[in-house]
Amino acid sequence: MTDDDQRYADLFKGKPGTVLGSFNEPPIETRAGFVSAKKKAVSEKRLPPRRNHSGCVPPGQDVVDTWPVLDLGHQPLVPTNQWSLDIKGDVTRPLSIDWDTFNNLPQSNVNADIHCVTAWSLLDNLWEGVSARQLIAMVQPREATKHVIFHSHDGYRANVSMARFTEENALLAHTWNGAPITCEHSGPVRMVMSSLYFWKSAKWVRQITFLEHDVKGYWEALGYHNEGDPWQEQRYA
């Protein structure tokens, strides 16, 4: 194992709040090592202290009491007065929304669990933000639109189907459990796609693109399952 691979593997030794050291996006062979390390972490259950809630969580998951910090090694600081969201692609009304406009849109509250691909779940999270359905009504995707991809300030991207994006609990969130989402957890705004593994809930969102054809996200291109349904254990392709 290389030093970089070891650094990635160390992330999953059961230390809540661990953050990868700051570095640029690693080369493809190193990222592939990260995927291998994550698979091994899942199989060995080397994760934060957990409680078993049989029947309450998807198969292969255990419940944690704290929200671990996982990222690509860079936590972009985005002041709210500089934050904006571009919504474009196969839509009839592309938009660019600043922070004030975003907060003046109709707000929604969602109580939803987090299910991480690394086999931990954090239950009963209260999210507040703007629903995906609200954004869809504003931009009016074309009939042929079948897919959505989220772009983040750290270079990350995640893809979901239009069918998933239109679900009732799909949310662009700015608040978690009554407080603004912190930078380490991808504030000021992140996606919440609670019906999917949490890698689909892109952090530090800056752009949402509607597409006719699917485009793989960051982890999907490295071997993660394209759908990511935790109840089907769709972890890896």
The string of pLDDT tens digits covering residues 110-141 is: 999 999 998 999 999 999 999 999 999 999 99
| Across 2-6, 114-118, 137-141, 232-236, least confident range | 2-6
Q: Is 176 left (phi over 0), alpha (psi -120 to 50) or beta?
A: beta
Q: How confident is the model at residue 16 (pLDDT cuts 50, 70, 90)?
A: very low
Both tokens of 23, joined, read 């570095």
SS3 state at 163: helix
The model's pTM: 0.78
**Quick one: which of 187, 211, 217, 214 has its CA closest to 199?**
217
pLDDT at 174 over 70: yes
Both tokens of 193, joined, read 């796609």
pLDDT-above-70 percentage for the chain: 77
**Quick one: which of 123, 190, 178 has its CA closest to 152?**
190
pLDDT at 204 over 90: yes
| CB contact at 8 A, 10 and 60 | no
**Highest mean pLDDT: which range of 39-48, 86-95, 112-121:** 86-95
Q: In the chain, where are the structural domains located?
A: 3-232
Pairing of strands 205-211, 84-89: parallel
**Fold of domain 3-232:** Sulfite Oxidase; Chain A, domain 2 (3.90.420)
pLDDT at 151 over 50: yes
Both tokens of 13, joined, read 């030794």
